[in-house]
Amino acid sequence: MAYRKTPAEIQRLESAREHLVTRATDVVAEVGWSGASVTAVADAAGIAAGSVYQHFASKAALAVEVFRRATGHEVDVLESVLNGSGTPVERLADGVRVFARRALESRGLAYALLAAPADAAVGAERLVFRRRYRALFAEVIREGMAQGLLPPQNGEVTAAALTGAIGEVLVAPLGSPEDDDQDILAELTAMALRCAGAAPSSARP
Amino acid sequence: MAYRKTPAEIQRLESAREHLVTRATDVVAEVGWSGASVTAVADAAGIAAGSVYQHFASKAALAVEVFRRATGHEVDVLESVLNGSGTPVERLADGVRVFARRALESRGLAYALLAAPADAAVGAERLVFRRRYRALFAEVIREGMAQGLLPPQNGEVTAAALTGAIGEVLVAPLGSPEDDDQDILAELTAMALRCAGAAPSSARP
DNA sequence: GAAAGAAGTGAACCATCATTCATAGTTTCC
DNA sequence: GGAAACTATGAATGATGGTTCACTTCTTTC
């Protein structure tokens, strides 16, 4: 008499939700938050608009999930690089490089996550993640200072600056059309090291 | 028979428009773009909602005017400082300091202009002004390089980074509550100089 | 296979605001 | 003073897009 979801059914629902989040992310990457209406997202996922509400209480909740998923992944990657091997300065350079490369490889999504106008809930979430980025950078800078590789400074300020600087450089339609991503990457990394006060060319080759 | 606006009438209309822009700016500074509905703005200016359309073709046009007015002023101030007296490095430091101080003095407005979610027209305008900030910084950096005060670098990238870094530091609710604006200002300026690669303490005292 | 419980559907609903417009009020000019 | 030209008003209008819900379709259980 009692109806209980069979494991297969639970699995199916779970992957339907997953699929929705994935496709919603695609839509956001392509047309930005503003273009990602419930209808558009539902269409992309191949379900009815109403069905979105089987998985999420509101559009905002879905948007937040999309943001968390994508950004969380980037934070994890950055964290593992920043806590990897090498001197703090080398790790900082690697972190910036990896972060920027990934962003340049999927510009649409990067723009949506970093800068595009978004609804309030996503905006709030952005602040949370910015703080996490900042904390990660701040820690490496602290280590660099402790080891005498970086000059004394307010690590929080530098970390915030790095976060902002990287975002701006990646998002701004810089100078000449397609100014060669390789160049941008190199310049950005060099800038980040200067910003933290690293001695010139103390980074990994 | 013909009706011609008398000078006094023209004056009255002009200052009504002015008053509207001013009050709209206040509203935006207080509650952000999202809270600045036509009704709210009209109320603040003491006129009816419909009257807004005597002065502006659309809400977006008013928003753009508010943004241009406020941001244009900041750009002018920055420009005059960056083109002032002293070495390029000193001027860069002064520019960052002045810009940041002004932003900290009216945080609400600064946030609205720099970072707050805004409608598309304002977003587009923001890009335009960001480019102007970038150009201003880039010029000083170029001069610094020419005079051998700054190391070789892609000035556009550094300039974009500075723009982003300053914005982020100013907008982020940094670390400890009220971390003393004076400190933030000093650290931010120091960071900017490092970022451009200036030799330590080559700035004005 | 049939009843019960869920999930899926999509058209209708509704809230929010920007915008309009019929009306009222002002200013100009003879 | 009064006609003409214009400005101000604010309630009504309309567009957008998230959310609901009566109904259909699918799953489970016996």
- Considering only the beta carbons, identify the residue of B120, B156, B165 that sits closest to A164: B165
- The label of the residue with tokens 């335009």 reads B128
A59 CA from D22 C1′ (Å): 22
B56 CA from C20 C1′ (Å): 14
| CA dist., res. A67 & res. A19, Å (int) | 15
State mean pLDDT over B105-129.
92
| Residue A172 pLDDT | 79
| Residue A1 pLDDT | 53
| Residue A144 pLDDT | 98
Considering the four listed CATH numbers 1.10.10, 3.30.590, 3.30.360, 1.20.120, the one that applies to the domain covering A1-56 is: 1.10.10
Is B141's Cβ below 8 Å from some Cβ in A? no
Q: Which CATH class is domain B60-196?
A: mainly alpha
| CA dist., res. A191 & res. A188, Å (int) | 5
- Considering only the beta carbons, identify the residue of B172, B175, B194 that sits closest to A194: B194
What percentage of chain A carries pLDDT values higher than 90? Answer: 82
Q: What is the pLDDT of residues B17-42, one digit of tens each?
A: 999 999 999 999 999 999 999 999 99
C-alpha closest to that of A116 among B27, B160, B74, B124: B124
Q: What is the DSSP string of B10-68?
A: HHHHHHHHHHHHHHHHHHHHHHHHHH--HHHHHHHHTS-GGGHHHH-SSHHHHHHHHHH
Domains A1-56 and A66-196 share a fold: no
Mean residue pLDDT of chain A comes to 92
List, as ranges, residues 22-41 from A with C-beta within 8 Å of B: 34
Q: What is the pLDDT of residues B51-108, one digit of tens each?
A: 999 999 999 999 999 999 999 999 999 999 999 999 999 999 999 999 999 999 999 9
Considering the four listed CATH numbers 1.10.8, 1.10.287, 1.10.10, 2.60.60, the one that applies to the domain covering B7-56 is: 1.10.10
| Residue B9 pLDDT | 80
| CA dist., res. A34 & res. B193, Å (int) | 38
Distance of residue B4 Cα from the nearest chain A Cα, in angstroms: 45
Q: Strand ranges (DSSP E) for B150-196?
A: none
Residue ranges covered by each domain of chain B: 7-56, 60-196
A28 CA from D27 C1′ (Å): 33
Residue B138 contacts residue B155 (beta carbons within 8 Å): yes
For chain B, give percent helix, strand, coil, nearest 5. 75, 0, 25
* CATH topology for the A66-196 domain: Tetracycline Repressor; domain 2 (1.10.357)
Is B135's Cβ below 8 Å from some Cβ in A? no
Q: Verify if strand D has an atom below 7 Å from the CB of B157.
A: no
